[in-house]
Amino acid sequence: MTERKGTGAILLAGGRATRLGGIDKPLLEIDGRSLLQRALDAVAGCEPVVVAGPARSDVAGAVTWVREDPPFTGPAAAIVAALAALPEQPARPDAPGPTWTLVLACDLADPAAAVAALTGARAAASADLDGWCLGDRDGRAQWLTALYRTAALRRAAAALPDAGTHASVRTLVGPLRLELIAAGPATDDIDTWDDAERAGARPRPIPTALLTPTKETP
C-alpha cells in the first residue's frame, strides 16, 4: 500500500459511550468484526499504529496502546498521549518516522471509506496544507476523521496546557491549515443504539460456555 508509506495512525478507543449505556463501544461488531478491528484493518499499511484506550488482547495487528492521563479527559488529551508514542526519528532506514498521521475515532461505521477519502486527498498534497478532515452529511468538520501533517499536529499539541486535559479537539487543530473534504456517509458513526441499528452493529455474542448453567453439586 504505497499510499500509506510515511503515514502513522492514531485510533481513539477510550470513550465512556454514555449514550450506549457505558458498553465497550469499540467491541460492537459489524459482520463479525469489532469496530476496533475494522478500524485497524482500515489503517493496514500505516506504521506505527497507536490506539488510545484500554489495551485489548483480541485484536489482530501490531499495535501500541496508550492512555491519556488521567483517563477520560477527552480526545485531545488522547491524541497528545498517542503522539508521544509516534517516533520522531526513523526506527529503521526502510520505515521512516511518519510524515502524516491518520486520526480516526473507533466508532466509525465504515472506517475503510473514511481512510480512502483521506489518503486520496494526500495524493494531491500541497506544501501549504497541514492536512484534511472529512465533512459529515451536514458539512460539519469531523476533526477525529482526519489526516494531519505529523509535525504540525505535534506543534499544536505542544501548545495545549496540561497535555490537552479536557481541551477541545477544535482548540487543538485550530492553528492548523486544513481542507474540508465532503464525505457524507464515510463519516457516519455510532453514538446511539439507533445509530448501531442503522449500521448493523451488535454487541459481541456471549460465549456459549458462559451461558451453560453450572450443575450444582448436591
Tens of pLDDT, residue by residue over 158-170, are 999 999 999 999 9
Grid cell listed for 212: 451453560
In the chain, domain spans:
2-211
**Of 180, 110, 105, 125, nearest in space to 3 by CA:** 125
Grid cell listed for 66: 496508550
Tens of pLDDT, residue by residue over 15-39, are 777 778 778 888 899 999 999 999 9
Tell me the residue length of the chain: 218
Q: Measure the CA angle with vertex 36, ends 187 and 50; round to 5°.
A: 95
pLDDT band at 211 (very low <50, low <70, confident <90, very high): very low
On whether the 2-211 domain is CATH 3.90.1150.10, my answer is no
pLDDT band at 106 (very low <50, low <70, confident <90, very high): very high
Residue 1 has pLDDT above 60, yes or no: no
